[in-house]
Amino acid sequence: MTGSAKDRTPAARQQRVWDKTAPSYDKQISFFERTWFTGGREWLGERARGRVLEVAIGTGRNLPHYPADVTITGIELSPAMLAIARQRAAGLGLEADLRAGDAEQLPVADGSFDTVVCALSLCTIPNPAAAVAEMRRALAPGGRLLLLDHIASTWPPVYAAQWLLEQVTVRTAGEHFTRRQLSLVEGAGFQVMEAERLKAGTVERIHAVKPA
């Protein structure tokens, strides 16, 4: 076996996946945003306030949807994805603080953000419970958690198809289709303000608040 132990961690494997995917990611995801996650990024942006931390910011596709009066910090595991996000921010004229980092060990101070956003990423983060706990730590009391992701369907035939697909995607890309984040959010002590499921229950939007 070659490579260090660090190179074989789940985070390192995910970094390699996203570094490889980065050049084609925007083209691939744009189709799904039109047909599956329709309006999701706008939904997130409409609810963001104050000091915003976006976890797993990817190529920065949420950046155009944030209000003009917020400050934006973005954390991304993949250097290749982060480079594209920085280019997008520059093209939009945004002074976003975009940093390399792991969602399970966020390089930010406790209680330093008013809003934490995570879009289409808890499905691939190796330990989503740890990531949600880190998001809670990063939020100030009364701060908002905004999530968008694909989840296990409420319709059995769709769920069965998701389960079959997952047998391949978990091994090849670390991507899960039968997870659901709501229980993690509730378990972390958040108060859920909004939770809606769309597309046969395969897409979920969550707006939760860290108790003051």
CA angle centred on 208, ends 205 and 209, rounded to 5°: 160
Half-sphere exposure of 3 (CA within 13 A, CB side): 7
Q: Spell out the per-residue pLDDT of the chain, length 212, in tens.
A: 445 556 679 999 999 999 999 999 999 999 999 999 999 999 999 999 999 999 999 999 999 999 999 999 999 999 999 999 999 999 999 999 999 999 999 999 999 999 999 999 999 999 999 999 999 999 999 999 999 999 999 999 999 999 999 999 999 999 999 999 999 999 999 999 999 999 999 999 999 999 99
In degrees, rounded to 5, the angle at the alpha carbon of residue 134 between the alpha carbons of residues 19 and 167 is 50
Task: Report pLDDT digits (tens) over 87-136.
Answer: 999 999 999 999 999 999 999 999 999 999 999 999 999 999 999 999 99
* 83 vs 85: CA distance, rounded Å: 5
CA dist 163 and 166 (Å) reads 5
Phi, psi of 148 (to 5 degrees): -135, 130
Domains and CATH numbers, the chain: 6-209 (3.40.50.150)
pTM above the 0.85 mark? yes
